[in-house]
Amino acid sequence: MSTEKIPYKIYLTEEELPRAWYNVRADMVNKPAPLLHPQTHQPMDLEGLSQVFCRELARQELDDTTPYVPIPQPVLDFYRMYRPSPLVRAYCLERYLDTPAHIYYKFEGSNTSGSHKLNSAIAQAYYAKEEGLIGVTTETGAGQWGTAMSMACAYLGLQCSVFMVKVSYEQKPFRREVMRTYGATVTPSPSMDTAVGRRINAQFPGTNGSLGCAISEAVEAARKPGYRYVLGSVLDQVLLHQTVIGLETKAALDKYHIRPDILIGCAGGGSNLGGLIAPFVGQKLRGEADMQILAVEPASCPSLTRGRFVYDYCDTGRVCPLQKMYTLGSDFMPSPNHAGGLRYHGMSRLVSQLYHDGLIQAAAVDQTSVFAAAVEFARVEGILPAPESGHAIRVAIDQALKCKQTGEEKNIVFSLSGTGYFDMAAYQRFNDGTMTDQIPTDEQIARSLAQVPVI
> Where on the chain is the footprint of a second copy (CB under 8 A)?
7-9, 11, 13-14, 77-78, 80-82, 88, 91-92, 110-112, 114, 151, 154-155, 173-174, 177-178, 180-183, 375, 378-384, 419, 421-422, 424-425, 427-428, 431
Nearer to a second copy, 195 or 424 (CB): 424
Contact 194, 217 (CB under 8 A): yes
The stretches of 229-348 forming alpha helices (DSSP H) are 236-255, 271-285, 303-306
What pairs with residue 435 in β-bridges? none
Q: How far is the CB of 14 from a second copy (least distance, A)?
A: 5
Q: How far is the CB of 309 from a second copy (least distance, A)?
A: 38
Q: In Å, how far from its chain's centre is CA 50?
A: 23
Enclosing H/E stretch for 76? helix 73-82
Nearer to a second copy, 349 or 394 (CB): 394
Q: How far is the CB of 277 from a second copy (least distance, A)?
A: 25
- Per DSSP (E only), the strands in 47-180 are 68-70, 87-89, 102-107, 135-140, 159-165
Distance CA 108, CA 113 (A): 10
Nearer to a second copy, 415 or 419 (CB): 419
Q: How far is the CB of 257 from a second copy (least distance, A)?
A: 18
Nearer to a second copy, 48 or 74 (CB): 74
Nearer to a second copy, 14 or 254 (CB): 14
Task: Please count the other Cβ atoms lying within 10 Å of the Cβ belonging to residue 211.
Answer: 25
Distance CA 82, CA 92 (A): 24
Nearer to a second copy, 88 or 445 (CB): 88
Q: How far is the CB of 110 from a second copy (least distance, A)?
A: 5
Q: How far is the CB of 82 from a second copy (least distance, A)?
A: 6
Q: How far is the CB of 413 from a second copy (least distance, A)?
A: 18
Q: How far is the CB of 72 from a second copy (least distance, A)?
A: 16
Nearer to a second copy, 280 or 371 (CB): 371
Please enumerate in sequence order all residues whose Cβ is within 8 A of that of 328, keeping only pairs 6 or more positions apart, or say none. 301, 302, 303, 306, 307, 345, 346, 440, 445, 448, 449
Contact 385, 407 (CB under 8 A): no
Inter-axis angle of helices 118-130 and 144-156, nearest 10: 40
φ and ψ at 296, to 5 degrees?
A: -110, 125
Nearer to a second copy, 36 or 87 (CB): 87
Q: How far is the CB of 177 from a second copy (least distance, A)?
A: 4
Q: How far is the CB of 181 from a second copy (least distance, A)?
A: 5
DSSP state of 328: S
CA-CA distances (angstroms) from residue 387 to 139, 289, 339, 393, 421? 20, 31, 5, 10, 10
Please enumerate in sequence order all residues whose Cβ is within 8 A of that of 358, keeping only pairs 6 or more positions apart, or say none. none
Nearer to a second copy, 270 or 418 (CB): 418
Contact 229, 52 (CB under 8 A): yes
Residue 44, SS3? coil
Contact 180, 173 (CB under 8 A): no
Nearer to a second copy, 164 or 350 (CB): 164
